[in-house]
């Protein structure tokens, strides 16, 4: 089945942590809608930081890590808070640059040559739009992770 990653925005950490109470995470159809993007296959700690490095030119090792915010148990689900720097790098990404960034991103070792530029572009478009909405609302980005 794999690991599920849903990216969402929230006004504060307590609101984000409350997503653990939703059976299906931030995109749970039986709960009030949250602004969220499905990101299956795009984990936040390494892959999105590599993306941030490609967008900003800042070396990966110098970028802030995602912070574990809440967890249900050892097997999850978990909520991580993404850095404001990552949110802003995504929000500032120009749509015209995304194909070139996607092409470089899929060549990183985390993809194991299993993705194409065309396959990651929809996610890039959705997550950059989510980041813009989050920044405009003064909110942070979070990721719900479930096995």
- The CATH number given to whatever domain includes residue 17 is 3.40.1760
pTM: 0.94
> How do residues 96-126 score in pLDDT, each as one tens digit?
999 999 999 999 998 877 889 999 999 999 9
Please tell me the predicted confidence (pLDDT) of residue 1.
54
SS3 113: coil
Please tell me the predicted confidence (pLDDT) of residue 43.
94
> How do residues 33-48 score in pLDDT, each as one tens digit?
899 999 988 999 999 9
The whole domain housing 112 covers 4-146
Please tell me the predicted confidence (pLDDT) of residue 58.
97
pLDDT average, residue stretch 71-90 = 94
Hey, which residues does 147 pair with through a beta bridge? Answer: none
pLDDT average, residue stretch 4-33 = 92
pLDDT average, residue stretch 5-15 = 96
Q: How confident is the model at residue 31 (pLDDT cuts 50, 70, 90)?
A: confident
Number of domains in the chain: 1
Q: How confident is the model at residue 75 (pLDDT cuts 50, 70, 90)?
A: confident
Residue 2 confidence (pLDDT) above 90: no
Exposure string of 31-61, with b = 16+ CB inside 10 Å and e = fewer, is eeebebbbbebbbbeebbbbbbbbbbeeeee
């Amino acid at each position: 089945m794999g690991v599920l990653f849903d990216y969402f925005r929230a006004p504060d950490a307590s609101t984000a942590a409350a997503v653990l109470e939703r059976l299906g995470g931030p995109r749970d159809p039986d709960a009030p809608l949250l602004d969220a993007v499905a990101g299956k296959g795009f984990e936040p700690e390494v892959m999105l930081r590599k993306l941030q490095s490609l967008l900003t030119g800042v070396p990966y090792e110098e970028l802030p890590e995602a912070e574990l915010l809440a967890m249900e148990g050892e097997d999850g689900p978990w909520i991580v808070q993404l850095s404001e720097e990552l949110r802003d790098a995504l929000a500032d990404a120009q749509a015209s640059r995304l194909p070139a960034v996607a092409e470089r991103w899929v060549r990183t070792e985390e993809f194991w040559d299993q993705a194409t530029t065309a396959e990651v572009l929809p996610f890039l478009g959705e997550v950059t739009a989510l980041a813009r909405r989050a920044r405009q609302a003064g909110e942070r980005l979070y990721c719900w992770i479930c096995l």
